[in-house]
Structure 1
């Protein structure tokens, strides 16, 4: 488990925005992951995604790492924000875009 935590910590630390999800941005494997991708794409930020279906250790380890039971999980500048419901609430209130701007997150390349 220590190795998995180290791997997760490295991924979170090396990327401004990381989404641990089921599937990939092009082929999300659940509705919640699909919604999370749509929100991030709408915000126009660069992000890294991690397909937890490809790595069972990460799939279980991320739940322990964040103390959050569900996937997807969003991290911004090393800080855990929550899952797709929290992302949606923040997005609808304008808080997610504001946070991304305040944190100086890089915009996605067009």
Structure 2
């Protein structure tokens, strides 16, 4: 995946999580925790398995200017990795940023 494809994904979808593995089968603890946080927020998100294509990780690192995986984008805005997501979630900031993207519980 190249930078143009990454840009298209993050601008076409409201919430995108670049992760190792998928939301159903995360391949690392940090990616699993990031996906779980978004699930707890009750939000639909696109998961991109960075392990699927060898060039995705270096292209994403350059695009996001961020060294680690996972990487979260909300409405095209870079949010950060797992630690930032965790801190924002615990403070209620992530839920505020997601706003109307969060589904109401049934």
TM class by smaller structure = over 0.9
1:87 aligns with 2:79: no
Show the counterpart of 1:55: 53
Q: 1:109 to 1:18 in 2, by over 3 A?
A: farther
1:64-98 deviations in Å (ceiling 9; x for gaps): 00100000000000000000000000000010001
In structure 2, distance between residues paired with 1:64 and 1:33:
19
* Contact persistence 1:22–1:53 (CA under 8 A): yes
Instruction: Spell out structure 1 runs of 4+ moving beyond 6 A.
Output: none
Once the two structures are superposed, the pairs formed by residues 1-110 of structure 1 within 5 Å of their partners are 4-101=2-99, 104-105=100-101, 107=103
Name whichever structure is richer in helix by fraction. Answer: 1
Per-residue deviation, residues 89-110 of structure 1 (Å, max 9, x unmatched): 0000010001110xx3253897
Distance 1:108 1:80 in 2: 25
How large is the RMSD of aligned CA atoms in angstroms? 1.7
Give the gaps of 5 or more residues in structure 2: none
8 Å contact 2:17–2:47 — kept in the other structure?
yes
Give me the TM-score of the superposition, normalised by structure 2: 0.94
Which TM-score applies when normalising by structure 1? Answer: 0.90
- Aligned length in residues: 106
